[in-house]
A and B are shown apart, each in its own frame.
Chain A
Amino acid sequence: MKYLLRRLLRAALLLIGVSALCFLFTEMAPGSFFDEMRLNPQISPETVTALRARYGLDQPLIVRYSRWMASVVRGDFGYSIAYNSPVAPLLWTRAKNTLLLTGTATFLVWLIAVPLAAWTAASHGRWLDKAAAVVSSVLISVPEIVIAIALLALAVRTRLVPVGGMRSLGFQEFSTWGQIQDIAQRMVLPTAVLVLSSIAVVERHVRASVLEVLQMPYIQAARGLGISRTRLLFRYALPVAANPAISLFGFSLATLLSGSLLVEVVTGWPGLGPLILDATLSRDLLLVIGGVLLSALFMVAGNFIADVLLLAFDPRIRTGESHAN
């Protein structure tokens, strides 16, 4: 319990640090939301100055940061100048879409990668292992953007799946099942990109740790008892090999919000990606900071969940033992 409280306290300090740095860096960055207005001869400098004062941009950094922190506590996460609305509802609407996409992709990645990794590790040196190694090398070396563009081109040419957006025209007139089908069909492309771009990393990590465990003498001892391959893998190898995989799983959760930004932009998925991109280009800085902080929150939560899982899975962490086995 003490361990978890210590982790929570550290997480809170980390979030405060991230928010302070975000403010500092955005202050240092050139340009602001009102710069384009200054170039417009129809808008007077006084109007621009009044607008800056209205949104509190004329205040010193520390005052703006304090005000922003107060709005975070209220749950608003600041005020978006471009959308003329509190940041939180804007982020939440898009974050739901992002989470739907990345949650599905992460689930599929782990669902496929863990058994595949266990299987390839158990077949070390055989054709299956070698074939998986070639495929994963290709997937790791090809950038996500290339996979996205290639699959987008394929989808457009073959018309196997709909491309762009999350809902078809007339979505509201569909039945509930029809709506689910429509969203599922439109999710296929971005989900496939996310799965293909991250499955190899997970498979390689899990395979390496399972392979290391399979060389351990206790596995040999279990083999000497005539243990079945399934029991050996799932009762002996995977639980012990789980530690690095759990840390990686925490990282997967941590990147649920930030891992798909590029893919969303390329495939037209209405998640946080296009929102943050637009906000960055238009210098709607509080919206950008809100997005960054939400990503940092997921990062902290992902790591915290990984810590809790490690605590539950590994008795050595509970008993405070430091030697590894």
Chain B
Amino acid sequence: MGSDARVAKSAQPFLRVRSLTKRYVRGGVLQKRIHVDAVRGIDLEIPACKTLALVGSSGSGKSTVARCVTRLERPDAGEIWVGGTDIAGLANRALLTFRAAIQMICQDAVTSMNPRFSAAETVEEPLLIQRRGAAKQCRQSALEIMSEVGVSADWANRSVMEFSGGQRQRLAIARALVLQPKLLVLDEALSGLDLSTEAEIINLLLDVQAAHSLTYLFISHDLPLMARLADTIAVMCNGTIVEQGPKSQLLSNPSHPETKSLLLPAKIFQKKYAEMLGVSG
């Protein structure tokens, strides 16, 4: 019974997005104003503690979805259900409690951190903003989470500019985790890292997902990589989701040309690698 209840709880979507639409206006006072739909009619859901990868080529609108889910942007239409609340239309004050539950990690850890801050200041800042205790407590929590992600407390007072790309990404993860969120939105968080660092960060993300019962929304253009990490994959093209499903189903039988084109580089690589090794087929 207890086991069934846990399964039922984990199967319940933590995040449910319905008919999400975001449009931008181009043009100004002396130009014709043009409405551009960055995303339209997006439907997706992620069960608690699971990973959904939103993949697509540049300009497909996946980052706009990420920004709407984290409420950095207010959607023009649609619903974003987190637990039992639709946060799509919430005002800033009401959003504050949900902001802690949904954290975002950006691609460029360098520019996503205040260059004037030290490592510890960067990680403790979310606690200070959310008023989660005295400054001393916040610092202590920041140091603990830094050591959990593999950044030594000895480096706490170093400027974030002194860290390498991989270390900065660890700091970004620590900053996101310090508020004990439920959902992490990772917008191209693995791009720009060398292979060994990428592998380290992936392992770290899998570890913290298990340790903190996190739900992940991965945003990426790298479908083969996402195939290794996600439970479900949604493919975006021109602002809409063109194909969505469990990764095994989507990879074995891609139906949309966009999905096929996203898989193509990996197939070419595999073919060339096989040719190089002299293996036929």
Q: Give the interface of A toward B (CB within 8 A).
A: 216-218, 220-228, 231, 236, 239-240, 314-316, 319, 321, 325
- CB of B161 within 8 A of CB of A321, answer yes
- CB of A226 within 8 A of CB of B159, answer no
Could you mark each residue 52-91 of chain B with 1 if its beta carbon is under 8 Å from any beta carbon of chain A, else 0? Answer: 0000000000000001001110000000000000000000
- CB of A225 within 8 A of CB of B116, answer no
Query: Within the assembled complex, what's the spacing in Å between the Cα atoms of A213 and B112?
Result: 11
Query: Within the assembled complex, what's the spacing in Å between the Cα atoms of A217 and B160?
Result: 15
Smallest CB separation, B274 vs chain A (Å): 40
Query: Within the assembled complex, what's the spacing in Å between the Cα atoms of A236 and B179?
Result: 20
- CB of B103 within 8 A of CB of A224, answer yes
Question: Which residues from chain B contact A226 at a C-beta distance below 8 Å?
Answer: 92, 95-96, 99-100, 129-130
Neighbour of A217 across the interface among B92, B108, B175, CB < 8 A: B108
- CB of A315 within 8 A of CB of B129, answer no
Question: Which residues from chain B contact A221 at a C-beta distance below 8 Å?
Answer: 104, 106, 112-113, 175
Question: Which residues from chain A contact B114 at a C-beta distance below 8 Å?
Answer: 218, 222, 236, 240
Neighbour of B110 across the interface among A228, A321, A325, CB < 8 A: A325
* Interface class of chain A by DSSP: helix
List of 3 A-B pairs having minimum Cβ-Cβ separation, nearest first: A226-B99, A217-B111, A217-B112
- The yes or no answer to B125 lying at the interface (CB within 8 A) is yes
- CB of A224 within 8 A of CB of B72, answer yes
Question: Which residues from chain B contact A240 at a C-beta distance below 8 Å?
Answer: 114-116
Neighbour of A227 across the interface among B100, B111, B116, B129, CB < 8 A: B129
- CB of A225 within 8 A of CB of B113, answer no
- CB of A218 within 8 A of CB of B111, answer yes
**B97 closest partner in A (C-beta):** A226
Smallest CB separation, A148 vs chain B (Å): 33
User: Could you pull out 28 A-B pairs where Cβ atoms are within 8 angstroms?
Assistant: A217-B106, A217-B108, A217-B111, A218-B113, A218-B115, A220-B67, A220-B72, A220-B112, A221-B112, A221-B113, A222-B114, A224-B71, A224-B99, A224-B102, A224-B104, A225-B99, A225-B125, A225-B130, A225-B179, A226-B96, A226-B129, A228-B129, A315-B116, A315-B159, A315-B161, A319-B159, A321-B161, A325-B110
